[in-house]
């Protein structure tokens, strides 16, 4: 194996850059810092990308060759953007750098030196579907009955469990206990599956996405020659969004840079992705792992008004002492109005307030709809807002997924209700029947035809006819074990539908066969279950199940993206997680009640710090106006509701940093 360094190329000559004139004092200090371990704490809206870009240009101006710089990012888009900006500044082409995502750089390294750990250079990278398919084969070889139990994770969710364990370097059992409690009873079965899956990949000379990190780290740890080559080649490491690194990514950075010439750029206050592997401790312990670290703070914010930033600083001041880096955002803009804290009676009144304010902003004040965002902790918090906007004909775009009633699990549950309400509804039947093992559309149609004929011949209720032996004989062998429970659930829904209220019907459907099905189908089962429970409060406003179903159908018909093209300049609805990195003239943050934001599970676990950081991210998306609303009553709890307290995050902020608004109830729908 040959290790060759490109030392023949002389430093590039390019027009001098006036770094002092083009950067503020904080950025200039970081960009021109002496090489070594550097932790750049870049606050929201402070010019993080600009700092990284100019750092690369500065290193080039000091005689560092492009091939000696490694730039690690979380998206290829970010890497391309930075390197093209460098080209604009210096004329040095992006192709001369090693820059990209951790995974793309890992692939590049393994293609060159993977044979040092027995990996063929022509290895194939499996996509998500191929990875799940191979895992399915392995599991069925180990335990042919595992996937027969619908409460066990299917290949997709199972892959998610194993992937998170690998990226956090935790055992599969610990990962299940911490984040996938619906699989606790089978946790001991999963480690052998993981081992068999790894063995099969090795035998076939294939890797999955996670292997690009795991095997890259293994290569550096097991081949001192390769590790020494990379340490010598890459004299400078620059890492973007360092707070989002997982355990393997942090270990890769430390291993690649025994010389400690690392510039890690990030913000501990914006670490909000632990659920997908990000480790808050990576940024907090960076100075411990890299002695003599120099910390640079970039705190001048070019996005928000001083009043919004004062509120954001108030959020950070409530963090536990010693568990964060001190920082204080400073505004470069002129004074404006304070954020508004809005108390409403319930979710419907919250939606009405937002609708009225939206109309004033757009029609009277000239704010472009695309510059307005409504942010929420979880999808179901936006249900009433979606209903209000749809009824009022206000175009909106959900940038973090699909509309509530178009989400797959919501449509599934509604289909159960639709079918029981009208068994002749073959569309609803097809949607729920194909959820059974090995039941396709043709098989579902055959079952429905036999059941209809049997019900007519025997003068029986259609739902009762489904459970008869004559109908069961037409069900695929793989589905027969579940058929009895499937039919029993439909019968329970039918019984409640005759005598109960719509909210009771929804609750019964959630507790039935479909609730168990979701455990195996979705790794984020607990979150989706919360969303379905939100339907209980929605259903409570109706006296008749038919009326509720009609309203759902009308809303889907009015707002479905398949029929109506959403104008690009539309109001944005998104989760706070998906809003990170974005900015808007006006921001509404809704559902700010304890148990909603922060969420109930975080409160019960006694750890709300990531939720507080999430609130900080939400607040700092706003440029000009910020509205923070909370309901006094949780309508999703059903008739009468449940009393709520304002979010502790609101109560922690000094009252002089915001102004209160109270609205009057006047909606009529």
String of DSSP letters for 337-354: PPPEEEEESSHHHHHHHH
Residues 6 or more apart whose Cβ sits within 8 Å of residue 580: 270, 272, 617
SS3 629: strand
Query: Is 638 annotated for ligand binding?
Result: no
Query: Is 533 annotated for ligand binding?
Result: no
Question: Is the backbone of residue 171 left (phi > 0), alpha (psi -120 to 50) or beta?
Answer: beta
Query: Is 606 annotated for ligand binding?
Result: no
Helix (H) or strand (E) holding 238, with range, is strand 236-239
Structure tokens that stand for 135 in this block: 């895992």
Query: Is 620 annotated for ligand binding?
Result: no
Structure tokens that stand for 511 in this block: 């507790």
| Cα–Cα distance, 544 to 541 (Å, whole number) | 9
Residue written as token pair 């009277």: 364
Identify any residues that bridge with 23 across adjacent strands, giving them in sequence order. none
Query: Is 42 annotated for ligand binding?
Result: yes
SS3 157: helix
Helix (H) or strand (E) holding 264, with range, is strand 262-266
| Cα–Cα distance, 340 to 657 (Å, whole number) | 9
String of DSSP letters for 537-565: HHHTT-S-HHHHHHHHHHHHHHH-TTTSP
| Cα–Cα distance, 639 to 636 (Å, whole number) | 8
Nearest in space to 613 (alpha carbons), one of 576, 646, 657, 644: 576
Structure tokens that stand for 303 in this block: 């996005």
Asked if 98 contacts 70 with a C-beta cutoff of 8 angstroms, the reply is yes
Cα–Cα separations (whole angstroms), residue 641 to 316, 499, 509, 637: 32, 22, 21, 5
Query: Is 274 annotated for ligand binding?
Result: no
Query: Is 278 annotated for ligand binding?
Result: no
State whether the Cα torsion 208-212-215-218 is positive or negative. negative
Query: Is 45 annotated for ligand binding?
Result: yes
The conformation of residue 435, written as its DSSP 8-state character, comes to T
Residue 194 CB coordination number (10 Å): 18
The conformation of residue 8, written as its DSSP 8-state character, comes to -
| Cα–Cα distance, 105 to 435 (Å, whole number) | 40
State CA 70 to chain mean position distance.
27
State CA 129 to chain mean position distance.
20
SS (H, E, C) 379-396: HHHHHHHHHHHHHHCCCE
Residues in binding site: 42-49
Residues in binding site for ATP: 42-49
């Amino acid at each position: 194996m040959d290790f060759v360094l490109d030392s023949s190329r002389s430093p590039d000559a390019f027009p001098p850059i006036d770094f002092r004139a083009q950067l503020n004092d904080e950025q200039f200090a970081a960009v021109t810092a002496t090489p070594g371990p550097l932790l750049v704490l870049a606050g929201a809206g402070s010019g993080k990308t600009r700092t990284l870009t100019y750092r690369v240009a500065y290193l080039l101006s000091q005689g560092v060759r492009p091939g000696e710089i490694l730039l690690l990012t979380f998206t290829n888009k970010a890497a391309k953007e930075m390197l093209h900006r460098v080209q604009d500044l210096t004329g040095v082409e992006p192709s001369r750098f090693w820059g990209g995502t951790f995974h793309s750089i890992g692939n590049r390294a393994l293609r060159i030196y993977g044979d040092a750990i027995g990996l063929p250079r022509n290895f194939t990278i499996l996509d998500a579907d191929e990875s799940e398919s191979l895992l399915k084969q392995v599991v069925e070889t180990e335990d042919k009955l595992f996937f027969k139990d619908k409460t066990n994770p299917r290949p997709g969710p199972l892959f998610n469990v194993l992937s998170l364990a690998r990226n956090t370097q935790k055992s599969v059992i610990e990962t299940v206990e911490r984040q996938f409690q619906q699989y606790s009873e089978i946790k001991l079965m999963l480690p052998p599956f993981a081992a068999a899956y790894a063995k099969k990949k090795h035998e076939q000379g294939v890797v999955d996405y996670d292997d690009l990190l795991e095997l890259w780290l293994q290569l550096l740890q097991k081949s001192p020659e390769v590790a020494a080559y990379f340490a010598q080649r890459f004299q400078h490491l620059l890492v973007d969004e360092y707070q989002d690194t997982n355990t393997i990514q942090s270990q890769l950075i430390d291993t690649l840079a025994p010389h400690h010439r690392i510039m890690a750029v990030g913000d501990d206050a914006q670490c909000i992705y632990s659920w997908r592997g990000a480790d808050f401790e990576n940024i907090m312990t960076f100075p411990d792992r890299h002695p003599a670290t120099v910390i640079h703070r970039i705190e001048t914010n070019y996005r928000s008004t001083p009043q919004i930033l004062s509120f954001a600083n108030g959020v950070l001041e409530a963090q536990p002492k010693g568990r964060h880096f001190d920082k204080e955002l400073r505004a470069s803009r002129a004074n404006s109005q304070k954020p508004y804290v809005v108390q409403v009676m319930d979710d419907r009144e919250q939606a009405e307030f937002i609708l009225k304010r939206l109309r004033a902003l757009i029609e009277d004040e000239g704010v472009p709809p695309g510059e307005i965002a409504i942010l929420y902790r979880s999808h179901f918090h936006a249900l009433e807002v979606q209903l209000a906007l749809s009824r009022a004909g206000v175009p909106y775009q959900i940038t973090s997924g699909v509309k509530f009633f178009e989400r797959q699990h919501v449509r599934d549950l509604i289909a159960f209700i639709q079918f029981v309400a009208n068994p002749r509804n073959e569309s609803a039947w097809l949607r729920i029947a194909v959820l059974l093992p090995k039941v396709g559309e043709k098989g579902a149609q055959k079952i429905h035809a036999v059941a209809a004929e049997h019900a007519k011949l025997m003068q029986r209720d259609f739902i009762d006819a489904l459970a008869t032996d004559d109908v069961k004989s037409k069900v695929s062998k793989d589905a027969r074990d579940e058929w009895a429970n499937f039919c029993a659930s439909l019968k329970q829904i039918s019984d409640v539908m005759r005598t109960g209220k719509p909210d009771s019907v929804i609750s019964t459907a959630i507790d039935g066969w479909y609730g168990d099905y979701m455990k195996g189908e979705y790794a984020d089962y607990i979150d989706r279950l919360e969303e379905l429970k939100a339907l209980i409060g929605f259903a409570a406003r109706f006296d008749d199940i038919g009326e509720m179903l009609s309203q759902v159908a009308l809303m889907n018909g009015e707002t479905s993206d398949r029929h109506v093209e959403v104008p690009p300049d539309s109001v944005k609805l998104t989760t706070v997680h998906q809003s990170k990195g974005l900015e808007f003239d006006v921001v509404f943050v809704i559902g700010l009640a304890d148990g909603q934001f922060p969420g109930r599970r975080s409160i019960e676990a006694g750890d709300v710090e990531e939720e507080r950081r999430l609130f900080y991210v939400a607040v700092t998306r706003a440029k000009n106006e910020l509205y923070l609303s909370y309901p006094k009553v949780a309508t999703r709890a059903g008739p009468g509701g449940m009393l709520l307290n304002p979010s502790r995050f609101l109560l922690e902020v000094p009252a002089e940093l915001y102004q209160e608004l109270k609205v009057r109830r006047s909606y009529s729908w």
